[in-house]
Structure 1
Amino acid sequence: MLTQANTYQPSSFKHVSYLWDDAKAAALEGDEVGLLIYRSNLLGADLRLTNYGGGNTSCKVTSPDPLTGDPTEVMWVKGSGGDIGTLKKSGLAALYLNRLHALKKRYRGLAFEDEMVELFNYCIYDLNSKAPSIDTPLHAFLPFKHVDHLHPDAAIAIAAAKDGKRITQELFNGQIGWVDWQRPGFDLGLQLEQCLADNPGIRGIMLGSHGLFTWGDTAYESYVNTLEVIERCAEYLEDNFGKNRPVFGGAIRQSLPAENRTAQAAALAPVLRGLCSGHTRMIGHFTDDERVLEFTNSADLDRLAPLGTSCPDHFLRTKISPLVLDLPADIDLSDSGAIKAGLEPAFAAYRAMYAEYYESCKHPNSPAMRDPNPVVILWPGVGMFTFAKDKQTARVAAEFYINAINVMKGAEAVSEYTSLPRQEAFDIEYWLLEEAKLQRMPKPKPLSGKIALVTGSAGGIGKAIARKFANEGACVIINDMDADRLSSADAEFKAQYGRDTHTTALLDVTSADAIQKAFEKAALAFGGVDIVVNCAGLSISKPIEEHTEKDWDLLYDVLVKGQFLVTQYGVAIMRKQNLGGDVLNIVSKNALVSGPNNAGYGSAKAAQMHLSRLNAAELGKDRIRVNVVNPDAVIADSKIWAGEWAEGRAKAYGVSVEELPAYYAKRTLLNEVILPDDIANACFAYVGGLLDKSTGNVLNVDGGVAMAFVR
């Protein structure tokens, strides 16, 4: 039984990660705010300690009052939003501690909780600091120099258990206090203060259904205290898993093999995305994490899933409850129309449930009902899908629901899981302060919620298009048949956009199998596809007598067959989604202009253009637009111009390779060099929202070549 701090040695932690580095901490000696940030980053690096964006940390220091110069106590605490794992000083709020305590005289009771948040602004010490969060008084009213408030699964499992208070008392021999569930705010801070007064000498406080508060007189003491309490909770749960009954009542179904799971998920994801996108176009995420499979395959799934989550941080991101698919894991998904028709009643029932929840719990001043579609969709035997406005939100929702699964597993092992009452859940979800936070969010970018696969996007025009789309909010599938080039583009996009904007796929557009795998990757990573850009290409410039049959076949395979196959696979996914879509074909001025030494390339480009017209005529009924961008002489960052093509064109026009850019510019009406970004901008013009009623069009981006005017 844990009876005092420092029971564990750094090497003995099994369920949490001890990451403290004495040398790094020593370099911060005397800088309590620096040590707060260091401690916070360590805690946030372990998802077993707290989920992304969850929890907050603080320290209290003595600093000179900027007006009087007199010493005053200042609290630095994580501000509104942000994540402790990546916390920097700019993410902290700094407030006068005495002013925060003075607010007790202004507090008028639970009915007036929200007005206190505005008053926090009158307590700000550092005018450049982050806006204070609702949890500010919870830290202010605890007298310790360093305080951690986290949402560890192991602690919440006990906090959400029916007998959580008793278990906490017995497990920690009275050294951890208990405060019943209450929405975060000023009053909860007063309750923490009272709990400490009633239980002097305790080392932490468990918040019913919510999380854990721990503390210390130094950053290190607080860090170790936090780890030890969570470690003890995790040990207790582990000792009880399967002790009285099988975990989640035992498995009643088996998972498909891993390869089959991903194939089934990729096939179904676009159908689910379409069903979830009636209100807002969603981005998806899929995981077949073993914890998800253990839960979805269990006897307790039907009992526990409808209960929803307990911790408000989990709930805010996963909604009132998940949708569980009544669909055999190995079902034949080839007839997507029949599958969709079979699923529609389940989605309709979920929306009706959500509407009833809203109507029965709303207040006179509640915000309007939000999107009634599910965020979390569980498919027993296969895995979990999550859908949200962007990839990061969808991925984090999945992480939070896995947190919720861990909590349910632990609570059921030691007692009985209890979720937030529906009214309490509603009051969190539709909290006016949360609504105000949503209203302050930046306006979505034009391509937010869109997914684009751009062939040949590891360099040149393709990479410029992918980058433009990413800048405008889209998720992109970067691909190329050159693995080294693809790896370089992947690193570049990760550095610029992080982990959630793109995925990669090796893709040879002449291979139907490679194309299928690339679109499956798009479905698994993001839920489907909305924009297909056929940009992959090559050029061969030879006189007719030198042109070989191999040259001819290669040009037509890449340019014409490749465009056909990629479009065919992309359209199949768009039809599953029933959200419409865009196909953009990067063709060429050569589709319209007859030039020397260009029989194979020019005729293939003409075929690409007419194939685009044919597709536009056929796909209009599906609200899929097909349009063409015709570049000319885009030399920068192009593999085409790095080889024999440039030599061939230079020879055809009687100039040197070095003179080609100037030659091409001078022959245009605008006397302009055409860059990859110019083509990317033209593509965005088609898909950015202003040309939604245009299809079958050709947009020349060539500086003005009169011979290429469309007649």
Structure 2
Amino acid sequence: IAARDKGEQTFGGQQHAALDEPQRHAAFAAILPWLRGQISRQRRFVGTIQDDPATLEFVNSRDAAGLAELGTSCPDHFLRTKIKPLYVDWDPQTHDLAALKAKLGAGLAQYRKDYAAYYERHKRANSPAMRDPNPTVILIPGLGMIAWGKDKSESRVTAEFYIGAIEVMRGAETIDSYVALPMQDAFDIEYWLLEEAKLQRMPPEQELARQVIAVVGAGSGIGRELAQRLAREGAHVVCVDKDGAAAEATAKAITDRHGLGIGVAGSGISRCGPALGLTTDMTDRASVRAMLTQILLAYGGLDALAITAGIFVAPDTAGRIPDEKWAQTFAINVTGLYLVADEAAQLWRQQGLPASLVLTTSVNAVVPKKGSLAYDTSKAAANHLVRELAVELAPLVRVNGVAPATVVQGSGMFPRDRVIASLSKYAIAYSDQEPTETLRTRLAQFYADRTLLKRPITPADQAEAIFLLLSSRLLQTTGQILSVDGGLNEAFMR
């Protein structure tokens, strides 16, 4: 085969030129939300992008359309790649993204019709019911390949299998010409009864399977606990934090626990596993937009988002909040929430699939007291932001809030100096030599003793509440604030 390699004339030579990487990423980010919505009408799919040189050489070639139409020839591939990919006849040098979306839309409609006809033409009396008629491999000149699967691992396997199919076609075309399996044989493999029996015996999907959920504030405290909770329910979790190292540590812990998956394909960030760590400043719209672009390139879409990040600024020694600290408090606790929600909403509108957003507020929003003026008023604004966004984004997006109280354990808002200041304020005995966690436990119990239930509030308690709001269990709930405070009667909603 090597001796007969055709070099630049492989697959008939190059008909199109690949866009450069920034242009490819911009194009993928522009079409992926809409595309995922189109193919996820029955069940949601998770995507993988492949734009390595070998894949680009194939999709840009003169023979790519004809070879793709012939279908794959390896029996092991059919369950993942289907009988054939969708090749989109788009010229990256002369057509714009609007034309690409139009061609994708027409191509998807035709693919579904062709797949239904293929099933009807070749089915047997005992064939399993027709599976989802959408393509799992999409080839776009200038850009590369998008592969889809029920989860990240499966979509990477799908991409890997079609990379293998390209190499089979390369070898066949080098020696002579590529010939695919007869359609009936291909159908009998794809709908093999023993394979169907194996599929039917698989355990039911987890509650958050097929979901891509971002957690802003995942580097510590409630956010870290929530990210791990969502992963245990089968979600793909994007761990976001201003502290990028902390976000990556949370993502690594999830991947170490649940595994990277069996697929080895994927280009760049799309080579990720079930969790991903990203650095983002949620007070900067450009940073938020870049974060969402990375999510699209990694997974192809976004289903839900929770924000647990926040800040508490104590008064200075004179009991005042400096202007810059007041502005910082509102920038993070209010404006940051809005910027993330606003950018995510634009993505969700393109995707067209029901989504969920949960903001973290505080019981302090309804309990005025001395010493936390900036924090309390910012959280009151966040409470109303939940209600306004619920109205603004309905009916596509459910928006709710969780109002914690005094979550000391593992919280970035309770560093050692604040814990010591609080212990001193409440005349609780302590020693400077005691470990921080010991002091936190003491303060947490003091706060717990002021509640009706007398139990410390933990990050896990908050994570459970946010999980419920993000899941389908509370599908009819929007615009609500769920207090998780152990029972503070002064914070009861009125």
- TM-score, normalized by the shorter chain, greater than 0.5: yes
Aligned residue runs from structure 1 range 279-318, under 5 A: 279-318=42-81
2:8 paired with 1:238: no
Q: 2:325 aligns with which of 539, 548, 551?
A: 551
**318-327 vs 648-657, which deviates more?**
648-657
Counterpart check, 1:675 vs 2:458: yes
Compared CA separation, residues 408 and 382, structure 1 to 2 (3 A) = same
Query: In the TM superposition, what are the counterparts of 1:10-159 in structure 2 within 5 Å?
Result: none
Contact 2:209 2:234 in 1 (8 A): yes
Shift of 1:392: 0.5
The answer for the alignment partner of 2:181 in structure 1 is 420
Instruction: Check the 8 A contact 1:541/1:649 in 2, yes or no.
Output: no
Report how many aligned residue pairs link the two structures.
470
Q: Which moved more, 1:358-367 or 1:685-694?
A: 685-694
C-alpha spacing 1:653/1:542, structure 2 compared with 1 (3 Å): farther
Q: Select 2:105's aligned residue among 319, 335, 344.
A: 344
* Cα distance in 2 between the residues matched to 1:478 and 1:458: 7
Counterpart in the other structure of 2:413: 640
In terms of Rg, which structure is larger? 1
User: Contact 2:409 / 2:444 at 8 angstroms: preserved in 1?
Assistant: no
From 320, 324, 327, the equivalent of 2:87 is 324
* Secondary structure, counterpart of 2:305 in structure 1: strand
Q: Counterpart of 1:697 in structure 2: which amino acid?
A: Q
Q: Deviations over 1:518-560 (max 9, x none)?
A: 1111111111111111111121122784211111111111111
Task: Find the aligned partners of 1:676 and 1:695 in 2 and give their Cα distance.
Answer: 23
CA 1:487–1:530 in 2, change beyond 3 Å: closer, same or farther? closer
Correspondence 1:612 to 2:376: no
Give how far 1:652 is off.
4.7
After superposition, give the CA deviation of every residue in 1:668-710 in whole Å (9 maximum; x if it has no partner): 1111111111111111111221211110011111111111111
Matched, 1:248 2:8: no
**Cα distance between partner residues in 2 of 1:552 and 1:470:** 35
Match of 2:128 in 1: 367
2:203 is equivalent to residue 442 of structure 1: yes
CA contact (8 A) 2:244 2:277 kept: no
Against the structure 1 CA distance between its residues 480 and 653, is the aligned structure 2 distance closer, same or farther, given a 3 Å change threshold? same
Q: Is 2:194 aligned against 1:433?
A: yes
Matched, 1:503 2:261: no
* Identity fraction in percent: 41
Matched, 1:388 2:161: no
Q: Does 1:537 align with 2:310?
A: yes
- For residue 624 of structure 1, what is the aligned residue in structure 2? 397
Instruction: Tell me, yes or no, if the aligned pair for 1:273 and 1:387 is still in contact at 8 Å.
Output: no
- Partner Cα separation in structure 1 for residue 342 and residue 421 of structure 2: 33
| 1:643–1:551 Cα change, 3 Å | farther
Aligned counterparts of 1:441 and 1:488: Cα–Cα separation in 2: 32
Q: CA deviation at 1:651?
A: 4.8
Distance 1:580 1:516 in 2: 20
Residue type at the aligned position of 1:379: I
User: Counterparts of 1:398-417 in structure 2 under 5 Å?
Assistant: 398-417=159-178
The secondary structure found in structure 1 opposite 2:320 is coil
What is the correspondence of 1:173-192 to structure 2 with a 5 Å cutoff? none
Tell me how large the CA RMSD over aligned residues is: 1.8
- Structure 2 residue aligned with 1:263, among 26, 33, 36? 26
* Counterpart residue number, 2:337: 563
The amino acid across from 2:111 in the alignment is Y
Letter in 2 for 1:626: V
Provide TM-score, normalisation by structure 2.
Answer: 0.91
Cα distance, 1:355 vs structure 2: 0.1
For 2:16, what is the secondary structure of its paired residue? coil
Q: How many Å separate the matches in 1 of 2:206 and 2:71?
A: 32
Distance 2:448 2:354 in 1: 38
Does the 8 Å contact 1:540/1:644 carry over to 2?
A: no
Whole-Å Cα distance in 2 between the matches of residues 647 and 344 of structure 1? 60
What SS is found at the alignment partner of 1:641?
coil
- Quote the Cα distance in structure 1 between the aligned partners of 2:332 and 2:416: 17
Change (3 A) 1:648 1:603: farther
Q: Can you give the 5+ residue segments of structure 2 that lack an aligned partner in the other structure?
A: 261-272, 431-438
2:344 partner SS: helix
Change (3 A) 1:654 1:339: farther
Question: Does 1:480 pair with 2:263?
Answer: no
1:258, 1:498 → 2: CA distance? 29
1:122-170 deviation digits (Å, cap 9, x = unpaired): xxxxxxxxxxxxxxxxxxxxxxxxxxxxxxxxxxxxxxxxxxxxxxxxx
Distance 1:341 1:456 in 2: 38
Rounded Cα–Cα distance in structure 2 between residues aligned with 1:587 and 1:254: 50
Q: Residue 139 of structure 2 contacts residue 145 of structure 2 at CA under 8 Å; is this kept in 1?
A: yes
Distance in 1, matches of 2:337 and 2:90, equals 35
Query: Deviation of residue 561 (structure 1)?
Result: 1.2
Question: Does 2:468 correspond to 1:700?
Answer: no
Structure 1 equivalent of residue 493 of structure 2: 710
Are 1:580 and 2:354 matched, yes or no?
Answer: yes
Q: 2:214 is paired with a residue of what secondary structure?
A: strand
Q: What amino acid sits opposite 2:188 in the alignment?
A: D
Q: How much does 1:633 deviate?
A: 1.1
Q: Is the contact made by 1:597 and 1:652 (CA closer than 8 Å) also made in structure 2?
A: no
Determine the structure 1 residue equivalent to 2:266: none
Map of 1:660 onto structure 2: 443
Q: Are residues 270 and 426 of structure 1, via their aligned partners in 2, closer, same or farther at CA, if it must alter by over 3 Å?
A: same
Q: For residues 380 and 156 of structure 2, what CA distance do their matches in structure 1 show? A: 43
Against the structure 1 CA distance between its residues 406 and 656, is the aligned structure 2 distance closer, same or farther, given a 3 Å change threshold? farther
CA distance in 2: counterparts of 1:672 and 1:287, whole angstroms: 50
> 2:376 corresponds to which residue?
602
Q: CA deviation at 1:575?
A: 1.0
Kindly provide the CA deviation profile for residues 208-252 of structure 1, in whole angstroms up to 9, marking residues without a partner as x. xxxxxxxxxxxxxxxxxxxxxxxxxxxxx2211117x81000001
Q: CA offsets, 1:464-486, max 9 Å, x none?
A: 11111111011011122223323
Alpha-carbon distance in 2 for matches of 1:314, 1:708: 58
Which residue is 2:265 aligned to? none
Worse overlay, 686-695 or 662-671: 686-695
Report the CA distance between 1:595 and its aligned residue.
2.0
* Counterpart secondary structure, 1:477: strand
Distance 1:481 1:441 in 2: 39
CA distance in 2, matches of 1:710, 1:490: 36
What secondary structure sits across from 2:473 in the alignment?
coil
Which one of the candidate residues 338, 363, 369 is aligned to 1:589?
363
**Using a 3 Å threshold, how does the CA distance of structure 1 residues 478 and 332 change in structure 2: closer, same or farther?**
farther
Aligned partners of 1:541 and 1:648 also within 8 Å: no
Report the Cα distance in structure 1 between the residues aligned to 2:284 and 2:425, rounded to whole angstroms.
33
The letter of the residue matching 1:676 is: P
Tell me which amino acid in the other structure corresponds to 1:686: L
Q: 1:306-325 deviations in whole A, cap 9, x for unaligned?
A: 11111111222100111122
Q: Is the 8 A contact 2:239 2:248 kept in 1?
A: no
- Specify the code of the residue in structure 2 equivalent to 1:525: A
* TM-score (norm: length of structure 1): 0.64
SS at match of 1:672: coil
Taking the aligned partners of 2:91 and 2:228, their CA distance within structure 1 comes to 40
In 2: Cα distance, 1:341 partner to 1:575 partner: 18
